[in-house]
């Protein structure tokens, strides 16, 4: 029975300690949050300590009694009964020493209940007076977490329905600028395509876009002559888009607008925050004002209002620019039966049929695209609005004729003439459509031995050297003269380093691989053809087309020498480096355009050219003496040989004469023999002036 009583007391003490802890915590909240709870807390702590002291004294007393009994003291008989027998034995005399009942502890539940009641009241009081304490503590804990300084820290709402119809407001709180931009760009799909509605699109060919080319030559090429460059307005030069033949997808023009708009939002937000932080207003006052503002807003309207509204900017100018470029690229000129190709088997140009052209209506097409944007149709196809350009019904074949022709004479050098012939064959039959540019290197290509070109004389850094394809400058120069007389525009030409002799200096056009090049443009309204050939030491080029110059107008090209330039300084060489030469003077020339109209002639300056002179090469004094001694020794050796027959001597004399002429060519003041690798005879010399 005593054991059960003890267990019950332990349970009561445990309950008391649990309620005591609750009371202490509640009073602790009072103490931490409000000074009013301090006196209550002190009283409770004193009461608990008094009770703990009483309880310890009682426990020590019971412990001492148990110890004395263990040493041999009398034990009550009632200790042998179970707790359940206590009621049955209650009628016995209580005077018996062994029948003492345990001490009545009825006051303990009362004390426990009082402490619990007081603790509960204290907790309720603390919670009622400091309801915001836990919320503030939680908020403080959250705020201690990392907060991106670049993010928005309050509820700000963005209306982006301009990009996505019916979209809910976007709360920007906690989002950085990059996150907002990424979100908005993912809110729509962009695939705005413009379709080419040309009914004759099958007959339409895309134009060739100009390339950024550098006409400057590489080292080791004949690039020291006077350069002539003519800039011709190319409508494709300002075109930045690269559409296909049938369609073009307009770039996403919303993307840049989104970035700019979001930048403005975050810039404004950061400026406002910086302005607020610079004031002396306390954080408590800011919170009160914010709470009051929120309450006022809630009373005035229950719906959330957008702080920012994203709107589509005016894309009119940008869209019109795209359509203007499309109108240039997709413009199809009517095919009026012009020449289309050259038939090598018949040696004739072939004519094509008539086809209507097509032109885009820029204003109408622009408006169609803007309507799609305003309707939020960012993924759609818009066909171009346009009109056909009727082709001419009159026969145009009869209007074609030779509008210019030019011929030059070559030398008797078979290797050089082979190169001239191959270059003429490569150029022959070329057809240029209106606006198309001709490139000599582009048409002829690189001159190689595999193509049959031979090694012949050419210029390299002011020296005459053997080069595969040497001599083809005669075809480029002949072509230049024909183009000039046709009225077409030369866009790039460079003269030789030294004055040529197959055309008048100032009317030549040198070429080499990969540069310099010779170029001209067909700036007429119809296709033209080029015919070129070599025969019997003559090279001829003709331009075939509809006359470019007005009726009755004729152009010629003439050039006049202005002055001679000094002979370059003498270069000292040794016999091992070659033979001596006398060199030549340079020269300056002025080219003129001779315009004949209605029987009247006008002479107009066209371009200026300067040519270098050949450098004289001489032996030094010691080198000359050594050379003379060697010659004397050779002569003595020759005299000691047997006398040859007259026929043999005559043949040898002729051979030596030819060799001497080859080793020491005579150079005139008009310049060297151009691109010639064999001895020059009187029959090979061509006087200055255009060939006929």
Q: Can you name the residues that pair with 674 across neighbouring β-strands?
A: none
Furthest CA-CA distance within the chain: 186
Instruction: Tell me the per-residue pLDDT of 397-429, one tens digit each, with 9 for 90 and over.
Output: 889 999 999 999 999 999 999 999 999 999 999
Kindly state the helix (H) or strand (E) to which residue 227 belongs, with its residue range: strand 227-229
pLDDT in the model for residue 69: 42
Among 312-316, 459-463, 479-483, 591-595, the minimum mean pLDDT is found in 459-463
Instruction: Tell me the per-residue pLDDT of 6-51, one tens digit each, with 9 for 90 and over.
Output: 455 545 555 555 555 555 555 444 444 444 444 544 555 555 555 5
Among 80-94, 117-131, 409-423, the minimum mean pLDDT is found in 80-94
Q: Calculate what percentage of the chain has a pLDDT beyond 90.
A: 47
Residue with the two structure tokens 């709470």: 291
pLDDT in the model for residue 502: 93
Instruction: Tell me the per-residue pLDDT of 509-538, one tens digit each, with 9 for 90 and over.
Output: 999 999 999 999 999 989 999 999 999 999
Indicate the pLDDT class of residue 681, thresholds 50, 70 and 90: very low
Q: Is the pLDDT of residue 85 over 50?
A: no
Residue with the two structure tokens 């070559």: 410
Q: How far is CA 62 from CA 83, 86, 103, in A?
A: 19, 21, 11
Among left, alpha and beta (phi > 0; psi -120 to 50; other), residue 598 is: left
* Non-local CB neighbours of 663 within 8 Å, separated by 6+ positions: 579
3-state SS of 365-393 is HHHHHHHHHHCCCCEEEEECCEEEECCCC
* Non-local CB neighbours of 96 within 8 Å, separated by 6+ positions: 77
CA count, 13 A, side-chain hemisphere, 577: 12
Cβ(566)–Cβ(583) under 8 Å?
A: no
Exposed, middle or buried: residue 1 (CB in 10 Å: 0-12, 13-18, 19+)?
Answer: middle
3-state SS of 232-253 is CCCCCCCCCCCCCCCEEECCCC
Give 607 or 94, the one with higher predicted confidence. 607
Rounded to an integer, the average pLDDT of 674-686 is 34
Q: In this structure, what token pair is assigned to residue 431?
A: 């057809």
Q: In this structure, what token pair is assigned to residue 9?
A: 């007391």
Cβ(410)–Cβ(687) under 8 Å?
A: no
Cβ(98)–Cβ(2) under 8 Å?
A: no
Rounded to an integer, the average pLDDT of 544-562 is 95
Cα 169 from chain centre? 36
CA distance 636 to 210: 69
Give 644 or 566, the one with higher predicted confidence. 566
Among left, alpha and beta (phi > 0; psi -120 to 50; other), residue 383 is: beta
Give me the chain's average pLDDT, please. Answer: 75
Cβ(322)–Cβ(362) under 8 Å?
A: no
Q: In this structure, what token pair is assigned to residue 371?
A: 């309507």
CA distance 442 to 492: 13
Phi (first) and psi of residue 305, to 5 degrees: -100, 145
Rounded to an integer, the average pLDDT of 659-680 is 33
Q: In this structure, what token pair is assigned to residue 575?
A: 């016999």
Indicate the pLDDT class of residue 235, thresholds 50, 70 and 90: confident
Vertex 449 angle, CA 213 and 533, to 5°: 75
Q: Is the peptide bond before 516 cis (omega within 30 degrees of 0)?
A: yes
pLDDT in the model for residue 295: 62
Cβ(183)–Cβ(168) under 8 Å?
A: no
- Collapse the DSSP code of 413 into the 3-class scheme (helix H, G, I; strand E, B; otherwise coil) and give the result: coil
Please name which of 343, 462, 478 lies closest in space to residue 410, comparing C-alpha atoms. Answer: 478
Q: Parallel, antiparallel, or unpaired for β 538-545 and 528-535?
A: antiparallel
CA distance 318 to 621: 78
pLDDT in the model for residue 226: 77
3-state SS of 83-99 is HHHCCCCCCCCCCCHHH
E strands, 250-385, in order: 308-309, 335-336, 339-343, 348-351, 354-355, 357-360, 379-383
Exposed, middle or buried: residue 481 (CB in 10 Å: 0-12, 13-18, 19+)?
Answer: buried
DSSP for 569-603, written as a single string: PPEEE-GGG---B----EEEEEEEEEEEETTEEEE
CA distance 488 to 466: 34
Cβ(169)–Cβ(323) under 8 Å?
A: no
Q: How far is CA 673 from CA 490, 562, 564, 686, in A?
A: 25, 20, 17, 9
Q: In this structure, what token pair is assigned to residue 60?
A: 């020590």
Q: What's the length of the chain? A: 692
Q: Calculate what percentage of the chain has a pLDDT beyond 70.
A: 62
Q: In this structure, what token pair is assigned to residue 216?
A: 């400057």
Domain residues of the chain, as ranges? 399-619
CA distance 626 to 46: 134
For the beta carbon of residue 401, count every other beta carbon within 10 angstroms.
10
E strands, 371-527, in order: 379-383, 386-389, 401-409, 431-432, 437-439, 455-460, 463-468, 489-494, 519-521
Exposed, middle or buried: residue 294 (CB in 10 Å: 0-12, 13-18, 19+)?
Answer: exposed
pLDDT in the model for residue 399: 92
Sheet holding 157-159, edge to edge: 170-171, 157-159, 308-309
pLDDT in the model for residue 671: 33
For the beta carbon of residue 145, count every other beta carbon within 10 angstroms.
6
Please name which of 512, 480, 588 lies closest in space to residue 222, comparing C-alpha atoms. Answer: 512
pLDDT in the model for residue 97: 40
Q: Is the pLDDT of residue 668 over 80?
A: no
Instruction: Tell me the per-residue pLDDT of 356-374, one tens digit each, with 9 for 90 and over.
Output: 999 999 999 999 999 999 9
Instruction: Tell me the per-residue pLDDT of 580-602, one tens digit each, with 9 for 90 and over.
Output: 989 899 999 999 999 999 889 99
pTM score of the predicted model? 0.58
Phi (first) and psi of residue 601, to 5 degrees: -115, 135
- Collapse the DSSP code of 617 into the 3-class scheme (helix H, G, I; strand E, B; otherwise coil) and give the result: strand
């Amino acid at each position: 029975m005593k054991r059960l009583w003890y267990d019950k007391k332990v349970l009561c003490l445990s309950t008391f300690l649990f309620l005591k802890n609750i009371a202490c915590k509640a009073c602790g909240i009072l103490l931490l949050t409000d000074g009013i709870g301090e006196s209550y807390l002190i009283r409770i702590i004193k009461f608990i300590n008094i009770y703990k002291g009483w309880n310890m004294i009682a426990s020590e007393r019971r412990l001492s009694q148990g110890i004395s009994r263990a040493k041999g003291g009398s034990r009550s008989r009632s200790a042998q009964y179970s707790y359940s027998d206590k009621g049955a034995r209650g009628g016995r005399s209580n005077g018996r020493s062994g029948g003492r009942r345990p001490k009545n502890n009825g006051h303990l539940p009362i004390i426990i209940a009082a402490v619990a009641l007081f603790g509960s009241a204290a907790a309720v009081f603390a919670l009622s007076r400091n309801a915001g304490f836990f919320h503030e503590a939680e908020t403080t804990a959250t705020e201690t977490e990392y907060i991106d300084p670049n993010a928005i820290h309050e509820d700000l709402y963005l209306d982006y329905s301009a990009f996505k119809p019916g979209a809910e407001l976007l709360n920007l709180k906690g989002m950085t600028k990059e996150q907002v931009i990424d979100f908005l760009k993912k809110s729509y799909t962009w695939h705005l395509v413009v379709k080419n509605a040309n009914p004759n699109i099958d007959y339409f060919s895309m134009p060739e876009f100009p390339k950024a080319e550098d006409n400057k030559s590489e080292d080791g090429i004949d690039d020291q002559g006077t350069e002539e460059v003519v800039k011709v307005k190319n409508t494709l030069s300002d075109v930045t888009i690269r559409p296909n033949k049938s369609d073009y997808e307009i770039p996403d023009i919303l993307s840049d607008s989104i970035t700019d708009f979001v930048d403005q939002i975050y810039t404004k937000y950061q400026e406002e925050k910086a302005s607020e932080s610079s004031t002396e207003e306390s954080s408590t006052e800011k919170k009160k004002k914010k709470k009051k503002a929120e309450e006022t807003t809630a009373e005035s309207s229950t719906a959330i209002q957008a702080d920012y509204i994203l709107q589509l900017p005016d894309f009119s100018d940008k869209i019109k620019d795209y359509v203007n470029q499309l109108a240039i690229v997709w413009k199809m000129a009517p095919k009026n039966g012009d020449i289309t190709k050259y038939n090598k088997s018949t040696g004739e140009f072939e004519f094509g049929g008539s086809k209507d052209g097509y032109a885009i209506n820029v204003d109408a097409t622009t408006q169609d695209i803007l309507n799609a944007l305003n309707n939020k149709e960012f993924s759609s196809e818009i066909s171009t609005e346009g009109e056909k350009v009727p082709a001419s019904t009159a026969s145009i074949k009869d209007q074609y004729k030779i509008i210019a022709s030019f011929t030059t004479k070559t030398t008797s050098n078979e290797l050089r003439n082979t190169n001239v012939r191959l270059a003429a064959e490569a150029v022959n039959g070329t057809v240029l459509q209106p606006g198309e540019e001709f490139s000599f290197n582009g048409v002829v290509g690189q001159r190689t031995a595999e193509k049959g070109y031979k090694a012949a004389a050419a210029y390299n850094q002011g020296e005459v050297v053997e080069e595969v394809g040497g001599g083809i400058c005669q075809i480029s120069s002949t072509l230049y003269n024909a183009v000039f007389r046709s009225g077409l525009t030369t866009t790039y030409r460079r003269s030789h380093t030294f004055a040529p002799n197959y055309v008048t200096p100032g009317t030549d056009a040198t070429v080499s691989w990969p540069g310099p090049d010779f170029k001209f443009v067909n700036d007429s309204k119809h296709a033209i053809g080029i015919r070129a050939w070599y025969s019997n030491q003559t090279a001829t080029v003709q331009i075939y087309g509809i006359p470019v110059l007005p009726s009755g107008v004729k152009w010629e090209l003439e050039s006049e020498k202005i002055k001679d330039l000094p002979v370059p300084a003498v270069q000292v060489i040794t016999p091992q480096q070659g033979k001596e030469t006398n060199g030549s003077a340079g020269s300056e020339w002025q080219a003129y355009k001779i315009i004949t109209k209605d029987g009247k002639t006008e002479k107009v300056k066209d371009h200026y050219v300067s040519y270098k002179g050949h450098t004289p090469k001489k032996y030094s004094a010691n080198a000359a003496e050594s050379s003379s001694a060697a010659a004397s020794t050779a002569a003595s050796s020759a005299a000691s040989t047997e006398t040859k027959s007259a026929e043999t001597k005559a043949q040898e004399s002729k051979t030596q004469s030819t060799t001497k002429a080859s080793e020491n060519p005579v150079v005139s003041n008009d310049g060297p023999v151009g691109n010639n690798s064999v001895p020059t005879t009187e029959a090979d010399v061509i006087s200055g002036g255009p060939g006929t």
